[in-house]
């Protein structure tokens, strides 16, 4: 390659790196929202104050003293230091830079292996579509960078661009640090282990054993380096226990069934998420690249791809690991495929030849236009490119109220809010650390309590309940739990805002507190039949306390809507949207108001806005579908009802409408099938009623 041509190629790679870096930063810089971040900050504070990594649980009242070796102690200290220096913005920027570094290392691997800037940018952009969903402020972003660093070191070693002793020393040093940062080092060891397979294959095929010999040395040093932690090799052996210890395995299965990211890729909870579609496209794109170069690809790449595809099918979070580990060699494989086609059909020698610079420019314009459209669709590129915490993520006022009044009494909380309570130094019932609870029944009891077994609150001597609002797909369970509390008559609501509700046990101890703070309106299950001088007065008082709040406007809007006063309801919902402009349920409510006013087109537009901001809002698909059904657009309505059944597993209503549609078509058997599904969800639903009437005729 002459000097002039080399400069052109280098400039193309530089342009690709800049464009990709900007896209990554745009996709990664947004307000912090991951609840586990508070656990990192609390742990970092503990390490900074005590000078040691934690070994037992000191922060819960349910698993106090249980073993707790924390593999993320060093990264927690790093995050805490960033927080002290630059606030939450420092952590967000660090996360974004770590992700940009990972992509940059991926580009370097592609370049070393002969990919062109065109295929590198194409593969990286497709990978970004999948990966941006996993750009939260979690320690795993450090492992993402280390994944690519591992692959880069291995590629330098394979290609002879690094001295063997430097490779060995770098590998050992990397794993010594990585093992104290995040458990992802286990996957890194797997990458080094796969190199052994390539070395063995090369030895058998070509009688060349150098790759195997030096790969084995690197793997052994890396493994030994992972023991340089405050816990020795304990973290690695704990991972192995999952496969050998029955109790640990059963506990992991329990967790996997209850945490969304451990659900299968095609599970209903993810059915409308864009990353699922992009993920499936990636699986096909990467797999086809391997297949097109089946004689030239490495055995380790096939094994890596097949193992993680299998894991992804059962556990969604492995999709992101697969994409991070495969996007460099995917670009290489597609480059080889293009080179083969070019040599066979002489594409670049035809009279329609397009220069590399022109092709790269066209691709960049296509990607940038796509990014702009992606941004306009309600997704999270630069439309939310800002620092700080996500608004109304947690309740500062709620925690202060709790700390002021609880004394030493115990608190019941859900899984996600536990980290925030740890950060605020409130002993928790349960939190996202998981490990301290392995040898207890705490997490199992938590789900039983949410299922209505309130007597377990007595077992744990609970006086307070700190309850954040539910996620979209868990509204039915949230409302049911609040109903259990109300019907028991043992609990009083003494605080609520946009983020949480706080209940206290009804007892002589809290009599004065309940009298002073009891609210006539429970936002989880509001009594819309209360007189306006009680209901609306309470909303006005809440707004005086927090003019930026959303919930009082929402409740007032529902109150007016229930009294058939749509104009007043519209004003309230629009006021709520001014304080929370990306809230899907508010657009759903606004659509209902427009529908009540006969503004059909505006109602449909509001429903579209609702699912743009919350793709799992099953209620909106039902409302939108019903509007289309009344307009005679049955096919479109049917599609929306089916979507609702996928995102709202606890809602019988869409099954009822699907059954009615099929009955009108004369498909009695299919209609009965839908009604049976609805009746199984809710025996008192319209679907169950229609089923009984059908068999009663």
Cβ atoms within 10 Å of 76's Cβ, excluding its own:
25
The tokens for 193 are 């282990």
Do both 229 and 301 map to the same domain?
A: yes
> What is the band of 671 on the pLDDT scale with cuts at 50, 70, 90?
confident
Cβ atoms within 10 Å of 305's Cβ, excluding its own:
21
Do both 309 and 453 map to the same domain?
A: no
Cα separation of 121 and 367, whole Å?
A: 9
Do both 216 and 121 map to the same domain?
A: yes
Do both 66 and 159 map to the same domain?
A: yes
pLDDT, one tens digit per residue, over 152-211 is 999 999 988 999 999 999 999 999 999 999 989 999 999 999 999 888 887 887 788 878
* No. of helices (H) and no. of strands (E), the chain: 30, 4
Q: What is the pTM of this model?
A: 0.84
- The answer as to whether 631 is a domain residue is no
Task: Give residue 383's pLDDT.
Answer: 45
User: Going by C-beta distance under 8 Å and a sequence separation of 6 or more, which residues neighbour residue 575?
Assistant: 553
- Burial of residue 635, with CB atoms counted within 10 A of its CB: 0-12 exposed, 13-18 middle, 19 or more buried: exposed
Q: What one-character-per-residue DSSP string does 285-347 give?
A: HHHHHHHHTTTTS-HHHHHHHHHHHHHHHH-TTHHHHHHHHHHHHHHHHHHHHHHHHHHHH-G
Cα separation of 582 and 604, whole Å?
A: 17
Compute the CA torsion angle 259, 265, 269, 275 (nearest 10 deg). Answer: 110
> What is the band of 459 on the pLDDT scale with cuts at 50, 70, 90?
very high
Residues in the chain: 697
pLDDT, one tens digit per residue, over 17-55 is 998 998 898 888 888 888 889 999 999 999 999 999 999
Do both 352 and 409 map to the same domain?
A: no
Cα–Cα nearest to 28, from 134, 144, 184, 122:
134
pLDDT, one tens digit per residue, over 64-88 is 999 998 889 999 999 999 999 999 9
Cβ atoms within 10 Å of 633's Cβ, excluding its own:
14
Do both 194 and 91 map to the same domain?
A: yes
Cα separation of 337 and 262, whole Å?
A: 35
Kindly state the average pLDDT of the residues 613-634: 87
- The answer as to whether 84 is a domain residue is yes
Cα separation of 55 and 53, whole Å?
A: 7
Task: Give residue 405's pLDDT.
Answer: 94
Cα–Cα nearest to 384, from 375, 393, 392:
375
Q: What one-character-per-residue DSSP string does 124-141 give?
A: HHHHHHHHGGG-SS-THH
Cα separation of 3 and 243, whole Å?
A: 56
653-665 helix and 668-681 helix, angle to the nearest 10 degrees:
170
- The answer as to whether 604 is a domain residue is no
User: Going by C-beta distance under 8 Å and a sequence separation of 6 or more, which residues neighbour residue 233?
Assistant: 226, 227
- The answer as to whether 619 is a domain residue is no
What is the extent of the structural domain holding 497? 396-517
- Of 355, 384, 413, the domain-final residue: 384
- The answer as to whether 692 is a domain residue is no
Cα separation of 374 and 130, whole Å?
A: 13
Task: Give residue 466's pLDDT.
Answer: 94
What's the whole-number average pLDDT of the chain?
A: 86
Do both 318 and 461 map to the same domain?
A: no
Give the torsion sign (CA, 105, 108, 110, 113). negative
Do both 179 and 223 map to the same domain?
A: yes
Cα separation of 297 and 466, whole Å?
A: 54
Do both 124 and 224 map to the same domain?
A: yes
User: Going by C-beta distance under 8 Å and a sequence separation of 6 or more, which residues neighbour residue 407?
Assistant: none
- The answer as to whether 193 is a domain residue is yes
Cα separation of 146 and 135, whole Å?
A: 15
159 Cα distance to chain centroid: 37
- Of 495, 517, 539, the domain-final residue: 517
> What is the band of 455 on the pLDDT scale with cuts at 50, 70, 90?
very high
- The answer as to whether 654 is a domain residue is no
For the chain, what is the domain count? 2
Compute the CA torsion angle 222, 223, 225, 229 (nearest 10 deg). Answer: 140
> What is the band of 109 on the pLDDT scale with cuts at 50, 70, 90?
very high
Contact present, 28 and 96 (Cβ < 8 Å): yes
Do both 282 and 423 map to the same domain?
A: no
- The answer as to whether 13 is a domain residue is yes
Cβ atoms within 10 Å of 508's Cβ, excluding its own:
6
- Of 362, 384, 406, the domain-final residue: 384
Do both 421 and 504 map to the same domain?
A: yes
Do both 407 and 364 map to the same domain?
A: no
Cα separation of 615 and 392, whole Å?
A: 20
């Amino acid at each position: 390659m002459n000097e002039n041509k080399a400069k052109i190629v280098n400039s193309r790679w530089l342009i690709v790196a800049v464009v990709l870096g900007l896209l990554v930063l745009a996709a990664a810089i947004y307000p912090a929202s991951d609840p586990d971040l508070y656990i990192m900050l609390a742990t970092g504070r503990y390490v900074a104050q005590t000078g040691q990594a934690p070994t037992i649980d000191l922060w819960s009242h349910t698993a106090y003293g249980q073993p707790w070796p924390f593999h993320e102690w060093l990264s927690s200290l790093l995050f805490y230091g960033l927080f002290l220096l630059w606030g939450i913005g420092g952590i967000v920027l660090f996360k974004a830079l770590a992700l940009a570094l990972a992509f940059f290392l991926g580009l370097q691997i592609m370049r070393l292996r002969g990919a062109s800037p065109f295929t590198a940018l194409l593969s990286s952009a497709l990978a970004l579509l999948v990966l941006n969903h996993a750009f939260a402020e979690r320690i795993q972003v450090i492992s993402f960078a280390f994944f690519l660093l591992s692959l880069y070191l291995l590629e330098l070693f394979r290609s002879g661009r690094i001295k063997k002793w430097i490779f060995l020393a770098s590998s050992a040093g990397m794993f010594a640090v990585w093992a104290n940062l995040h458990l992802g080092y286990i996957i890194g060891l797997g990458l080094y282990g796969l190199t052994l397979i390539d070395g063995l294959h090369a030895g058998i095929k070509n009688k060349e054993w150098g790759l195997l010999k030096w790969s084995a040395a690197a793997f052994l040093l890396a493994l030994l380096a992972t023991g340089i932690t405050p816990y020795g090799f304990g973290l690695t052996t704990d991972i192995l226990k999952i496969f050998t210890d029955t109790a640990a395995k059963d506990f992991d299965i329990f967790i996997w069934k209850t945490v969304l990211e451990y659900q299968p890729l095609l599970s209903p909870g993810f059915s409308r998420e864009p990353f699922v579609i992009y993920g499936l496209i990636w699986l096909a794109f990467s797999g086809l690249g391997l297949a097109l170069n089946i004689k030239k690809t490495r055995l380790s790449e096939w094994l890596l791809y097949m193992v993680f595809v299998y894991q992804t099918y059962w556990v969604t979070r492995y999709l992101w690991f697969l994409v991070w580990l495969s996007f460099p060699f995917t670009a290489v494989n597609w480059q080889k495929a293009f080179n083969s086609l070019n040599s066979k059909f002489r594409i670049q020698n035809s009279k329609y030849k397009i220069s590399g610079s022109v092709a790269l420019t066209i691709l960049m314009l296509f990607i940038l236009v796509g990014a702009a459209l992606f941004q306009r669709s309600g997704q999270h590129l630069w439309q939310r490119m800002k620092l700080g915490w996500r608004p109304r993520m947690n309740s500062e006022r709620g925690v202060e109220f709790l700390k002021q009044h609880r004394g030493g009494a115990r608190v019941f909380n859900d899984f996600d809010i536990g980290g925030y309570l740890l950060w605020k130094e409130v002993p928790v019932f349960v939190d996202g650390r998981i490990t301290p609870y392995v040898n207890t029944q705490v997490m199992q009891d938590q789900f039983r309590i949410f299922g209505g077994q309130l007597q377990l609150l007595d077992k744990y001597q609970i006086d307070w309940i700190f309850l954040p609002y539910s996620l979209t797909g868990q509204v039915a369970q949230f409302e049911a739990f609040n109903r259990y509390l109300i019907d028991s008559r043992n609990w009083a609501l003494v605080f609520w805002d946009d983020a949480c509700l706080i209940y206290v046990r009804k007892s002589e101890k809290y009599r004065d507190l309940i009298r002073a703070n009891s609210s006539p309106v429970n936002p989880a299950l509001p009594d819309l039949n209360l007189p306006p001088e009680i209901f609306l007065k309470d909303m006005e008082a809440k707004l005086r306390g927090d003019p930026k709040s959303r919930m009082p406007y929402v409740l007032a809007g529902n109150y007016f809507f229930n009294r058939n006063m749509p104009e007043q309801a519209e004003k309230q919902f629009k006021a709520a949207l001014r304080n929370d402009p990306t809230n899907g349920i508010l657009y759903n409510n606004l659509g209902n108001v427009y529908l009540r006013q006969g503004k059909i087109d505006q109602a449909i537009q509001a429903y579209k806005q609702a699912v743009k901001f919350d793709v799992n809002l099953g209620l909106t698909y039902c409302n939108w579908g019903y509007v289309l059904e009344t307009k005679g657009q049955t096919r479109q309505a049917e599609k929306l009802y089916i979507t609702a059944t996928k995102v709202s597993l606890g809602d019988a209503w869409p099954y009822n409408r699907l059954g009615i549609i099929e009955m009108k078509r004369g498909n009695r058997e299919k209609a009965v099938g839908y009604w049976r599904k609805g009746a199984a969800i809710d025996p008192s639903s319209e679907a169950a009623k229609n089923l009984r009437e059908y068999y009663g005729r």
